[in-house]
A and B are shown apart, each in its own frame.
Chain A
Amino acid sequence: MKSPAPAILTAIGFLGAAAAYWLAGPERFWANYLVWMLMLISAGLGALFIAALEHLVAARWSVPLRRAAERAAGLLVPAAPIVLIGLFSLPVLYPWARPGAILPPAVAAKAVWLNVPFFSARAVACVLLWLLSWRVLVGGSMLQDSSKDPALTIRARRYAPFFMAAFALSVTLVAFDWISSLEPEWYSDVFGVYLFAGVFLAGLCVVSLAVIHMMEAGRLPGVKFDHLYNLGGFLFAWIVFWSYIAFAQYLLMWYANLPEEVFWYRQRVNGAWRAVALALALLHFVIPFFALIPKDVKGDLSRLRRAALLVLLAHFLDLYWLVFPVLGARPLFSWPELSFALLFIGLSSLWVRRSMGQGADMPIGDPFLEEGLAFRL
């Protein structure tokens, strides 16, 4: 008997979110929607990236964990209609898409790129690329459970480089289109990489949580400390990578002090947002960095789960910090935000629970599964 909690959470969250549209206004509604849409994309795309990375570099150690990543990548399926619905946020949130808005010349000059038809085409193209990749990589792997055909592994390895190119392009587009263009005067070349670091982290956290959950249920026999240690090591490394990119972007803009760049940070590190920025530095770097230093933590079920949950929360905070300052100088966080959290966490749980039953718990048709299980540090 499955717990009805996710369904109840989703229902409560849905009511709250719908009420937010009328009571808190469409701007706040769509800002919440955008944050959680990006959260969903981060988790699904990050997990798919981890699965594809294994094929790209022909890794063996992660084969027993790949099904967890593949199941989490299924989050891209509900993400597809959510992105399409998200296009309705354009005239509300994005200054360049507001009907009748008088744009400064610097923004008007970007009209070739920032117009509703082209934006929508890019968003749809990204979604299609993700679904295609999900179909090839995950669908092929599921098929292999019964067919045991090694040709599917070869196909996945051939497809992986193409996925990487599509991934890099689509993550950059998501970063520039959905986040950067909220303030269309602002630009940062490294912003795509910044989001990529967050996406990979979110994917890692979701995969780690799924693996830990399945290990505790005894569904991954043979997966041990050594496998978890690698996940923890990746988490540790990418926390540092994210911080490096985030600080590099900040340092250059702070130094150059150009008005069209620095206003973005002035909104986000001054006034009431300073507390959020500091919390982000603590939760996204300092605490997980020191928490993940000891060797034992990286391979310990409960401590790695805590670290993964913390980093997932930090990624949410990151997206919140990126999106919400366009609503005003004061961070808004009350019942609409909680409702959206309930709605999307409930939806994701329902979806993940459903996909947890898909296929075997490990890719049992993969010719490298045994080598992966025999992996030792």
Chain B
Amino acid sequence: MTERVFSIVGLFDSPQALLAAVPRLKLEAWHLEAYTPYPVRGLDAALEQRRSPLAGMVLVMGILGTFTAWLFQWWMNSVDYPIVVGGKDPSSWQAYVPIMFEVAVLFATFTAGLGMLFLLNKLPAFWHPFLLSRSAAKVTCDKFALAVEANDQALDVVAAESALREAGAVSVEIVYEPAPAKRASPNLLLGLAAVLAIGCSLAGYAVYWGIKLFPVLPPMSHMLVQPRADAFDSSGFFKDGRAMRSPVPGTIARGQLPYPVKTHEQAERLRNPLPRTHAVMLAGRSAYNNVCSVCHGPLADGTPTLTEAYGAKPANLQSGKFLKYSDGRIYDTIVRGMNAMPSYASPLTEHQRWAVVHYLRAVQRAQHAKDSDLP
């Protein structure tokens, strides 16, 4: 079986010689193709090749992308599941524009790239008959080739060969179409793709179930595992086997000085460290009204505002017993509590407690004012 002629290739020494040859061969109405090491200006026009349809395809797909995105958003946002965002009408077109623009660009670029590769460059055909010729090697170096292509029709090989030589070709080669068996057929490629797809799926399943059923190692521990002792971890480093350490005996937390007073006698000896200034009085009033007055009343006479349901009878601090209390004793009561009154050490700072003592003294004196107190 004789191989079919694909084309007759003539080699030229310069792009000028190539360009000069084209019109002479055009006379015969042959189908011409050129192969050059670099783009030769004017060759497209000389060969009268049809303009690439890619630009039109990109335009159409760009417009299609615009409307696809519009339809998509309009359906989702104003028909299928309308959500009012920012008080706008869900069908506001303005909000759709950025996505429409993006999708138009997406469609257009994909059309340009994939359309060029698969529609125009005819992937998945990875080969071309010309690549099997001797001329191909020379064209990638310093020769310029002009081919008269058979285009699946009978070609007058002798006439084409002599026409090329007459047009100035330095050498002429007949390029044959290889036997079809040599081709990587689309079926083979589809088969390869199918094998790849099935193989990937099987491998994915295998890994998924393998990890699920045999959790030998955490597959992705990332930052979960760190060389650090967390709270309540065990540790082989210390004798007691715990990672947490107790503070050194006698350690005092910041702002938590111990309160050494145990008895009333000790309390009597406490002295108010604060001066009786306006600021201290204001601080004392604020703390008293916020914390103490709820039970003891604003005038400290034991007429509370909130204790009807509470049941216990709060002390009347204007009574003689409390008038005689020393400052230290009052302070001690605030800290440690008395009878039904709990400790108020935590709601009040030390400064506030002593300020409350000053303020309470003032309230007591105001309720038992004497003529001599008048200025």
Contacts and interface: CB of A to CB of B under 8 A. Distances in A.
Interface string A251-262: 100110100000
Contact of B98 (A251, A254, A295, A376): A251
A162 interface: no
Contacts of A255: 86, 88, 94-95
B94 A251 contact: yes
Nearest to A377: B41
B97 A247 contact: yes
Nearest to B42: A376
A257 B89 CA distance: 13
Interface residues of chain A: helix, strand, loop or mixed (majority): helix
B59 A293 contact: yes
Contact of B97 (A251, A293, A376): A251
Interface in B76-103: 86-88, 94-95, 97-98
A250 interface: yes
B79 to A, nearest CB: 22
Contacts of B86: 255, 257
A207 B59 CA distance: 29
A37 B285 CA distance: 71
Interface residues of B, number: 10
Interface residues of chain B: helix, strand, loop or mixed (majority): helix
Interface in A211-254: 247, 250-251, 254
Contacts of B87: 257
A126 B41 CA distance: 46
Nearest to B55: A295
Nearest to A244: B101
Interface in A284-310: 293, 295
A127 B59 CA distance: 44
A89 B302 CA distance: 78
Nearest to B51: A295
Nearest to A290: B59
Contacts of A376: 41
Contacts of B59: 293
Nearest to A294: B55
A295 B52 CA distance: 12
Contacts of A251: 94-95, 97-98
B41 A254 contact: no
Contacts of A257: 86-87
A272 B314 CA distance: 77
Contacts of A293: 59
Contacts of B41: 376
13 contacts: A247-B97, A250-B94, A251-B94, A251-B95, A251-B98, A255-B86, A255-B88, A255-B95, A257-B86, A257-B87, A293-B59, A295-B55, A376-B41
Closest 10 CB pairs of A and B: A254-B94, A251-B94, A376-B41, A247-B97, A255-B86, A293-B59, A251-B97, A257-B86, A257-B87, A251-B98
Given A250-B94, A251-B97, 4 more contacts: A251-B95, A254-B94, A255-B95, A295-B55
